[in-house]
Amino acid sequence: MNKLLKYKVCGGIKTTITGKLLYVVLIELSGENGEVVIPQRRISEALHISKGTVSRNLRRLERVGAISIIPTYHSDGGSAANKYLVK
């Protein structure tokens, strides 16, 4: 993706400034296929914001169609870090 294009796309998303920051972080971390698996805790620690703020803004991004959130699970059935598909 063009270096400035991601910021232009981010600017057009109807969400909070924190949501826009999270979107850019997900773009930076995603691979060629637009997927990234990362714990919300790691994002919150890196950005010095609460896990609740991360969770709330990720849900907002999903609601406006900027990302898809795909739950993942360990082999024993326990929850694992979500997979995020950046659109």
Q: What is the CATH number of the domain that holds 25?
A: 1.10.10.10
Residue 84 pLDDT > 80: yes
Range 12-35 average pLDDT: 91
| Residue range 37-65, pLDDT digits in tens | 999 999 999 999 999 999 999 999 999 99
Range 65-73 average pLDDT: 95
Strands (DSSP E) along the chain, which ranges? 35-37, 67-73, 79-86
Please state the domain count of the chain: 1
Residue 77 pLDDT > 90: no
Q: What pLDDT does residue 21 have?
A: 92
Q: What pLDDT does residue 56 have?
A: 97
Neighbouring C-beta atoms of residue 19, cutoff 10 Å:
24
Residue 79: give the domain boundaries.
5-86
CA distances from 85 to 1, 29, 45, 76 (A): 15, 11, 21, 24
pTM: 0.86
